Amino acid sequence: MKVTITHIDTACVLININGFKILTDPTLDKKDGIFPQYVSRPIAFSKKYIDPALSIEEIGKVDLVLLSHDHHSDNLDKNGRLFIKTVPVVLSTKDAVKRLKNNNTIGLDNWQEYHVETTKVKRLKITAIPAQHTNIKRLDKVMGKVLGFAIEWEGQTNGCIYISGDTVLFEGLYELENKKKVDIAILHLGAGAFPYLKKNLRVTMNGEEAIETTKLLNPNIVIPIHYEGWWHFKQSVKSLKNEIEKSGFNEKFLWLDSGIETELIKENNFKLN
C-alpha cells in the first residue's frame, strides 16, 4: 500500500491510494481567471495569478472527486467543471448537486458516509466533515454550504486523512476531534477575505487558526494548501511560513512543491487485515 499526494493548484490536489486516484476541488484554468461568486450576494470578485502545475492531460483519469463546494471559482472553475463530467463519482454538497445537474454528483450531509467500491483499496470510506466558510457565523448561509472530507480504509493505524475544505476554526472541528483520529490534515489556508464587502470577514483559516487546528487534532502531518495564487488570499506566504516556524509545530508541516508527487504513507506504516 502506497499513498502519495501531488499539489496541482489552489485547493486542487491529487491523492493516489494504491492506484485509486482522488482529485480535490478542481481548479484547472490558467492564471488571469476571475472569481465570480455564483450564488451569494453581494457578489465577490478576485483574480488568479498562478497557473496549474499539471495539465488536464497530465492529471489523466481519476476515480473520484471530492468537491468542498461548487460556487466559488477558486474551488471549481470552468475547466474544472468540464473535468468533473468525465469522473465516475463526484462527492459534494447537496446544493452542488442541484446547481451542477451532473448525474455523477452525489450530495452529502454533515457526517454522512460514502462507501467506495474498488478492488484497489479495502473498505475505502469517505465521510463528509462540517465546514464553515466564514468567521462571522450569521453570514454562514450567505457564503453557502461547504464540506470537508475524511478518507479512511481498512488497515489504517495512525488515523484518517482529513481535508478541511474552505473553513475557519469552528465548533465542527471540535466535533471532528471527538469523532475521529487524524493522521494527515490537509488545510485550506490563505486567510481569504473581501474587505470591501465587510471589514472583518474572513472565509478561510489564517496561520493562527492552522496552528490551533494542529493543536486540536494533533495530526502527524499537516499539509497547507489554498494559500497562494489569488488576490483575495490576504496572508502572504512569507507571513504564513514565519508564523508556522515560530509556533513549535513546524516539524509537522509538509510544504508541497506543486506538480511533484510526494509519498505520504509507506507500506510498513500499516497492514491490511
Q: To the nearest whole number, what is the mean pLDDT of the chain?
A: 92
Spatial separation of the C-alpha atoms in residues 184 and 162, rounded to whole Å: 6
Per DSSP bridges, beta strands 113-116 and 124-130 are antiparallel
Q: Is the pLDDT of residue 42 over 60?
A: no
pLDDT at 270: 39
Spatial separation of the C-alpha atoms in residues 79 and 195, rounded to whole Å: 28
pLDDT at 268: 47
Q: Is the pLDDT of residue 37 over 50?
A: no
Q: What is the mean pLDDT of residues 204-224?
A: 98
| pLDDT tens per residue across span 239-254 | 999 999 999 999 999 9
pLDDT at 38: 42
**Structure pTM?**
0.93
Q: Is the pLDDT of residue 33 over 60?
A: no
Spatial separation of the C-alpha atoms in residues 41 and 98, rounded to whole Å: 18
Q: What is the mean pLDDT of residues 35-53?
A: 69
pLDDT at 273: 30
| pLDDT tens per residue across span 153-212 | 999 999 999 999 999 999 999 999 999 999 999 999 999 988 556 678 899 999 999 999
Spatial separation of the C-alpha atoms in residues 235 and 265, rounded to whole Å: 30
HEC per residue, the chain: CCEEEEEEECCEEEEEECCEEEEECCCCCCCCCECCECCCCCCCCCEECCCCCCCHHHHCCCCEEECCCCCECCCCCHHHHHHHCCCCEEEECHHHHHHHCCCCEEECCCCCEEEECCCCCCCEEEEEEECCCCCCHHHHHHHCCCEEEEEECCCCCCCEEEECCCCCCCHHHHHHHHHCCEEEEEEECCCECCCCCCCCCCCCCCHHHHHHHHHHHCCCEEEEECCCCECCECCCHHHHHHHHHCCCCHHHECCCCCCCCEEEECHHHCCCC
pLDDT at 144: 92
Handedness of CA 226, 86, 152, 270 (dihedral sign): negative
Least confident piece of the model among 10-19, 40-49, 204-213? 40-49
Give all domains of the chain, ordered by start, each with its CATH number.
Answer: 3-257 (3.60.15.10)
Cα–Cα nearest to 149, from 123, 111, 191, 117: 111
Q: What is the mean pLDDT of residues 97-119?
A: 97
pLDDT at 41: 45
pLDDT at 36: 52
Q: What is the mean pLDDT of residues 29-39?
A: 64
pLDDT at 194: 80
